[in-house]
Structure 1
Amino acid sequence: MARVRWRVTEFPRRLVSRCKALVSWLILLRQTLFYNEFTSYMVGLETAAEPMFWTVDKFSKYFGPIFMILVVCLTTSVVVIFYICLLPHVYQQSLSKTIFHLIFGHWLLVNIVFNYVMAVFTDPGHPPREIPETVSICKKCISPKPPRAHHCSICDKCVLKMDHHCPWINNCVGFYNHRYFFQFCIFMLSGTIYVCVTGVDLFKQHFYGDKYYPFPAVLYPLNMAYDIMYGDHNKPFLGGIAAVPVNSSFNKNHGGQHQPGVDLEVDMRNQHYHTAVVYEFVLCSAVVIALLLLVCWHVRMISLGETNIEVYINRKEVSRLKKLGLVYTNPYHYGFFKNWQIFFGLGKGRTFLKNVLFPSTHTPCGDGLTFPRVPNKGPREDKDRGLMLL
């Protein structure tokens, strides 16, 4: 008969050993099921977000027309309100200011409409079957891909010098329409700033009113309570809605009749005017903030000779090659002024005044299939260790 000996002193050591073995087994199981030599946490994160990417790819093509209609409707509403509300207000101040606003405002409007239409209906460019230079094979199209071209999963085509797919224009931003898209953003940003500056006085008058209140007009219940406590009780507060006394000249001219218990009548025409002025300023202010961030991002990319996609590719290559002791050089960064000249397609009789500040349909420099490369400008030892991709 076997004897069972209990050794209390060995129990903690054996427990720790078993726990370590269990943890090691769980780590090995996790790495076996989810990892390999080429996998990282970023790859796992991208894999987890794959359903979101699939949803965007499948439904963005349907959102595009909706966003286009939204852009047209919002822009039209801003223009109509400017003509009805802001321009007559400027005309009451000065005739010379009115002439300036008519010239400057219509110049902005023409450029906005022209560049938006061209960005929407201009083909960004697609590589042909035979190209002079091939850098890779598109896995989706199974066709040769020229430098700086990328496949758009929404359009299901390869796009020359692709920047991104924009749902607001329902089109890809690529080689042939990148200039139109950027100029539309610039002129739209200028137009919204112009509307805000022109209507800021009128907005303050309608938003805050003639009487001081400690809270913004949107918090009219608080202002109503403030008015009840400290205001003139002979003048009821209606939260920004224009009201006219019954015995005023307005009611006399319009046949207003006094009703028992009612001291004021709401002027619906002034109410709509008030709503339009506030709507105009708030909408344009929001667009200014959004477009300012977008324009700053594109200015940085164009100044460095990159596209939206190449920003992330270059960052990844810089980090990867740095670990190998190599230096990555962007071969399409020709310098600040040269980058902008190429982007706007200037030169050969094309000027900034004629072809950028005014509508122009000139094509960009080159064919979008080949791009001159800039060699590494560092010392000799850096040239031997440099690497240029794309």
Structure 2
Amino acid sequence: MSNSIEFAPLATSDPMDEEPITTKPTPRPKRNTLSARVERLTDAAISGLGPVLITIAFVLLSTTIFCFFTVFLPFHYQWKAGEGLFGNWAYILNVIWSWYLVWGIIGNYYFAVRTPPGAVLDGVASTGDAMFQDVLQEMETYTELPPTCKRCHLPKPERTHHCSVCKRCVLKYDHHCPWIHNCVGFYNHRYFVMFLTYLSTACVYFVLMGAGPFMLAADMDSENTWPYWLDQSIVAFSEVLAVAIGIAVGGMACWHWYLTLTAQTTLEQYNNAYIKKVCKKRGEKFTNMYDFGVIGNLQDFFNVGPRGHYPWYTALLPLRIPPIGNGKRFERSGRGYVLDFGEEDEDMPILALQIKAELENVTELIPADADHTWHFKVQCTKCRDIDSNLITFNAIDKAEMGSGRGESNLVMRCKFCKCEISADFASKPIPYNIENNDRFATIVTIECRGLELVGFEPREGWKAKGAESGTVFEEIDLTDGEWVDYDEKSEMPVGISKIEAKFVKVK
């Protein structure tokens, strides 16, 4: 089941976000649904595998490097005594090139593993125990109140996302990589990309240099003597491994170079791809607000050239070079596309949530409390994006809308077109009675501004009454789509099943 989100003032579109900090928050209880448990187990497994995968990577790299310098290179080039440097130029160039690749692989891999990707509060957020005064000091650096991460309760700058494996918000988050036991983020992104680049290049070189020794090992029989100390099986394994890694890592390297040249992260690319489709349908052009062209993007990424602080050649060396800025604010090209949808913004339809269910010996199905949390799927009416997460809000809590337009039960921003959308409960909940069995009936109405409700999940927090006995059944959980119990007073089984929902426009 998708993660839900509770909204508060100045909420934005990111899941599990957006509550301004007013005091040191109390940790929220963990969800105990099956999907939540599977998610936590998966994250724990990925985190636990990190050191194991790093060890495996070290062993494989060491084996292939040793194989190259003891078998592959001597197979093609050997030092010719008495011919001097000029007579051995091919051998010297290949040795220099080989060690340069090794340096690039090991150096960038080490930096990718050991460099923290960047946290909102360096040295504080990573411990999971940020002091309140540190949070306030961080907030003072912003001219506008930033959104707040619901999971770690810290300010959330632009391009920052929460990593469920590392349990922290990461600046300019790209993804979590188990092979480096680290997130790929603002401070170590260049090392990760260059590690992929050097490794894929080395694999191509390794495969070409190893073709001859591999064929020799395959053609060897008992009558011939293998001329190298390293066993034939290891040589064959190294060649096959280089082919496999070259294909996998090469594809990943190409993908990350595309993202680098277009000034995107992996997450941003998915968002931008959707906006491009919307713009194409409208006959308009989308441009990424962080895109300064191929040359400008390379300068920003590697901190080189006129836009950076280091010479161009440093991009090709595995040196510890910091990126431009602090990872919390980014220069914008001024060409970012903003979707404009005109007067449609003022449309404020009222939607009736109707459900149909099969009630067995119970009636008056209704939320148990006035602050019942409702779970909806939300679609922006402007760009037509459907949020991938369940959006939650209730009829009691209010959030301030932008530009002083008042308060609403739900205030959020669409993650794609960034417009503010909101909703309010227009009526109190209406009980669903047994007389409506297998028929749709309205249980609540909601006024929407800039959004449509396109999905509903009942989840927990409902109550019903025995149809014959009047016994009240509280804390009914409909997460699995059904509920069963036994009415001791009437001595009859009771239950709710076959729940369906739809939305009807009533205004």
Interval containing the TM-score (normalised by the shorter chain): 0.5 to 0.7
Give unmatched runs, 5+ long, in structure 1. Answer: 1-42, 210-239, 246-266
Structure 1 stretch displaced more, 373-382 or 276-285: 373-382
Shift of the 330–379 alpha-carbon distance from structure 1 to 2, 3 Å rule, reads: closer
TM-score between both structures, scaled by the size of structure 1: 0.66
Aligned counterparts, 1:119-134, within 5 A: 119-128=112-121, 129=135, 130-131=138-139, 132-133=141-142, 134=145
Shift of the 302–101 alpha-carbon distance from structure 1 to 2, 3 Å rule, reads: same
Structure 1 CA distance, aligned partners of 2:91 and 2:261?
A: 37
Aligned counterparts, 1:16-95, within 5 A: 53-92=39-78, 95=88
After superposition, the C-alpha distances for 1:280-325 in whole angstroms (9 at most, x for unaligned) are: 2111111110011101111111122110111223334555788899
Deviation of 1:100 (Å): 1.6
TM-score between both structures, scaled by the size of structure 2: 0.51
Deviation of 1:356 (Å): 1.6
Shift of the 106–325 alpha-carbon distance from structure 1 to 2, 3 Å rule, reads: closer
Shift of the 318–55 alpha-carbon distance from structure 1 to 2, 3 Å rule, reads: farther
| Aligned twin of 1:339 | 297
Structure 1 CA distance, aligned partners of 2:161 and 2:213?
A: 48
Matched, 1:293 2:265: no
Shift of the 48–269 alpha-carbon distance from structure 1 to 2, 3 Å rule, reads: farther
Letter matched to residue 57 of structure 2: V
Matched, 1:350 2:310: yes
Match among 158, 163, 178 for residue 167 of structure 1: 178
Shift of the 383–79 alpha-carbon distance from structure 1 to 2, 3 Å rule, reads: farther
Kept after mapping to 2: 8 A contact 1:330/1:388: no
Aligned counterparts, 1:241-256, within 5 A: 242-244=221-223
Structure 2 CA distance, aligned partners of 1:99 and 1:373?
A: 46
| Aligned twin of 1:114 | 107
Q: Secondary structure at the match of 1:179?
A: helix
Q: Secondary structure at the match of 2:223?
A: strand
RMSD: 3.6
* Structure showing the higher strand proportion among its residues: 2
Give unmatched runs, 5+ long, in structure 2. Answer: 1-14, 16-32, 81-87, 122-134, 344-381, 384-415, 420-507
Q: Secondary structure at the match of 1:172?
A: strand
Which consecutive segments of 4 or more residues in structure 1 shift more than 6 A?
Answer: 267-271, 320-327, 377-388
Shift of the 316–380 alpha-carbon distance from structure 1 to 2, 3 Å rule, reads: closer
Deviation of 1:173 (Å): 0.6
After superposition, the C-alpha distances for 1:29-76 in whole angstroms (9 at most, x for unaligned) are: xxxxxxxxxxxxxx9xxx997665433212111010011001100000
Identity of aligned residues (%): 32
* Structure showing the higher helix proportion among its residues: 1
Structure 2 CA distance, aligned partners of 1:85 and 1:380?
A: 60
Deviation of 1:352 (Å): 2.2
Letter matched to residue 44 of structure 2: K
Shift of the 382–330 alpha-carbon distance from structure 1 to 2, 3 Å rule, reads: farther
Shift of the 145–358 alpha-carbon distance from structure 1 to 2, 3 Å rule, reads: same
Structure 2 CA distance, aligned partners of 1:383 and 1:136?
A: 26
Match among 302, 308, 314 for residue 260 of structure 2: 302
Shift of the 382–302 alpha-carbon distance from structure 1 to 2, 3 Å rule, reads: farther
Kept after mapping to 2: 8 A contact 1:376/1:383: no
Shift of the 97–268 alpha-carbon distance from structure 1 to 2, 3 Å rule, reads: closer
Structure 1 CA distance, aligned partners of 2:97 and 2:38?
A: 44
Deviation of 1:191 (Å): 1.1
Kept after mapping to 2: 8 A contact 1:126/1:157: yes
Letter matched to residue 306 of structure 1: Q
| Aligned twin of 1:197 | 208
Kept after mapping to 2: 8 A contact 1:81/1:280: yes
Letter matched to residue 223 of structure 2: V
Q: How many residues align?
A: 292
After superposition, the C-alpha distances for 1:72-113 in whole angstroms (9 at most, x for unaligned) are: 000000011112211221235974332122111011111111
Q: Secondary structure at the match of 1:165?
A: strand
Letter matched to residue 324 of structure 2: C
Letter matched to residue 164 of structure 2: S
Kept after mapping to 1: 8 A contact 2:70/2:230: no
Matched, 1:283 2:241: yes
Shift of the 137–117 alpha-carbon distance from structure 1 to 2, 3 Å rule, reads: same
Letter matched to residue 265 of structure 2: T
Kept after mapping to 1: 8 A contact 2:71/2:213: no
Shift of the 270–126 alpha-carbon distance from structure 1 to 2, 3 Å rule, reads: closer
After superposition, the C-alpha distances for 1:107-147 in whole angstroms (9 at most, x for unaligned) are: 11111111111111111110123143454211101221000
Aligned counterparts, 1:149-298, within 5 A: 149-207=160-218, 209=219, 242-244=221-223, 273-298=231-256
Structure 1 stretch displaced more, 185-194 or 267-276: 267-276
Shift of the 346–74 alpha-carbon distance from structure 1 to 2, 3 Å rule, reads: same
Deviation of 1:206 (Å): 2.3
